[in-house]
Structure 1
């Protein structure tokens, strides 16, 4: 399953990336995130691995983020692995002429196991909806935080 999303953040590119590229800020905009810890490398750098633990009430998920490629502030490709799911996310960031930031996210999901394959087939919209929610939540956080 593949999909692309786009959002415009009312901040300059540098300010947007400064707020995004900080481990401590993740909990401020990722609803359900209860812990984030680097397990190898340096956060945000190519090859770094970060363990992310989420609590969504009845669902508790642990995933591993691996930075596959980074040329920040313009480009970041990350892999997210959780039981039964692989998500590869390509993010690009561009400045607009009026000082805003365009964030584009291309997502590709692969599902393993009958349960996850069925969920991906019957309810693909839930993955896109969650991705868009996090993008909107980041936008709200970034635009409301004092630099």
Structure 2
């Protein structure tokens, strides 16, 4: 499954990317995230890995994030691996004007087992969750 989403953030691209690099701040805009655990490499740089620990509906979930590309302030690409599958996200920041930045995500999911079937029927749910994170980041960045 693939999809692209975008919105605008009413802040300069320099502010937006600094806010994005704030790993502690991610807990404010990624619902359910309670811990980021570095595993290897320089956090936020190409090749680095870390675990994202989430709580969702009373269940704990752990995702392994790998930074695939890092060209901030304009682009970063990362993957998440878990028991339900693989998710690759390319996040693009584009300066629209001095105080407006366009945020675009290109998302790719490769699901396993029963999630493969559920993903086919529930693609809207995946898009809605991605947009929820984007809107949460927008609010965080505009603070």
Q: TM-score range by the shorter chain?
A: over 0.9
Name structure 2 gaps, 5 residues minimum.
none
Match of 1:125 in 2: 124
Separation of aligned partners in 2, 1:6 and 1:88: 16
Tell me the secondary structure at the aligned position of residue 110 of structure 1.
strand
Match of 1:34 in 2: 34
Separation of aligned partners in 2, 1:24 and 1:121: 33
Alignment of structure 1 residues 1-147 onto 2, 5 Å: 1-113=1-113, 115-144=114-143
Separation of aligned partners in 1, 2:117 and 2:135: 27
Tell me the secondary structure at the aligned position of residue 139 of structure 1.
helix
Q: Indicate the RMSD between aligned Cα atoms, in angstroms.
A: 1.0
Say how many residue pairs are matched.
143
Tell me the secondary structure at the aligned position of residue 24 of structure 1.
coil
Separation of aligned partners in 1, 2:61 and 2:130: 15
Name structure 1 gaps, 5 residues minimum.
none
- The offset of 1:125, in angstroms, is 1.1
TM normalised by structure 2 equals 0.96
The runs of at least 4 consecutive aligned structure 1 residues that moved more than 6 Å come to none
Q: Which whole-Å deviations, capped at 9, do the CAs of 1:2-33 have from their partners, x for residues lacking one? A: 00000100000000000111211110111100
- The offset of 1:60, in angstroms, is 2.3
Separation of aligned partners in 1, 2:120 and 2:59: 19
The verdict on how the C-alpha distance between 1:58 and 1:119 changes in structure 2, with shifts beyond 3 A counting, is farther
Separation of aligned partners in 2, 1:20 and 1:5: 17
TM normalised by structure 1 equals 0.93
